[in-house]
Amino acid sequence: MATSKSKSKPATTKRKSSRRAKRPATRNITHRAKPTAASHVASSKLASLKSPVSSSSKQSAVLKMLYEPKGTTIGAIMKATDWQQHSVRGFFAGVVKKKLDLNLVSEKVDGQRIYRIAKFGTAR
């Protein structure tokens, strides 16, 4: 009796993944020139010369409060905007002073710190 030996190879064919190969995304976005520091300074100077934009945003409400001659306190801003104290201070430093380049002055009156935006050259 002759035994027939069939040589069968194990099924080692590579399976293709059901996932597509990742390709870099191609976008049809036109690249804009980045604004220079000079344009930022010019736009912030123009923004400081104008009165604050009248809209219903929290930032505009805070700027309106700061433009009042008597000024405002951090507590009043916190109450008007539902911001926390550190958020109000961050808004002063980041937006009022750096981005808008406004002259923010503070005075201590009757034990309370009052903040207001003064005209250029009138800071103490």
Q: What is d(CA 68, CA 38) in angstroms, rounded to the nearest whole number?
A: 29
Residue 68 has pLDDT above 80, yes or no: yes
Rg of the chain over CA atoms, in angstroms? 32
What pLDDT, on a 0 to 100 scale, did the predictor assign at position 56?
Answer: 81
Average pLDDT over residues 81-94: 96
The helix or strand, by DSSP H or E, that contains position 46, with its residue range, turns out to be helix 37-49
118: pLDDT confidence band, cut at 50, 70 and 90?
very high
pLDDT in tens, 39-65: 555 555 555 555 555 568 999 999 999
Q: Pick from 101, 104, 100: which is nearest to 116 by CA?
A: 104
pTM of the model: 0.53
Mean pLDDT of the chain: 78
